[in-house]
Amino acid sequence: MAIIQIATAFNIDLEFEIAEFHKRLLAYLIDFVLLITYLFSMKYLLYAGFLMELEQNVGLDILVISLPMLLYSLLTELWMNGQTLGKKLMAIRVISLEGGEPTFGQFLLRWITKFYEWPFLFGYIAFSGANLILYIFTTALFGIAVVIIISVSPRSQRLGDIAAGTVVVNT
C-alpha cells in the first residue's frame, strides 16, 4: 500500500495510507447507485404518483431532483468529514495535503471538477433516447480519463484532488 507522509507545522510527520483504487471505485459505484435510485424513485413519485407532466414542470424537476443530486458529494463530504456514503462504507475519506480536514474551498474545488465525472446523471432532462445514449458515452469517456489521471498521479489523485490539494486515504 502506498503511504503518504505529511509534515505538520509542529514538525511531526503524519502517515496515511492512500486509498486503493478498487475502494475508490466501489465508493463511486455505491454513490452512483444511490443517486440513480433517488433519481428513479423521485421521477416515479412526481410523475406517476402525482400524475404531473415533465414538460410543464421542468423547474420543479430541477429543484426537487437535479439540485439534490448535484449537491450530494459537496454536502456529504462537508457534513461527514470528507466522506460520502460510499466512502464511509468503504472506509476511506478525503484529507488535505496539510494533514487536516480540507477547507470549504478545497471541498468546493473538488466538487466543481466532479462535474466532468457525472454528466450522465443530468442527461435524463434531454427528452430523447439518442441524447441519453450520448450522455452515457460521454460519461464513459470522462470516466476513462479519470482512471488514467488517478493511475499516473504519484498520490493516486484525480484532477479535482490535484487542484484542491487533497488526497483520498484509508480511515
pLDDT at 51 over 80: no
* Band of pLDDT at residue 60, cut at 50, 70 and 90: confident
> Which three three-digit cell numbers place residue 117?
465525472
pLDDT at 122 over 80: no
* pLDDT at 137 (0 to 100): 77
Q: Exposed e or buried b for every residue in 82-110, given b needs 16+ CB within 10 A?
A: bbbebbbebebbbbbbbbeebeeebbebb
H or E element that contains 74: helix 67-79
pLDDT at 160 over 60: yes
pLDDT at 118 over 90: no
The pTM of the full predicted model, rounded to 2 decimals, is 0.84
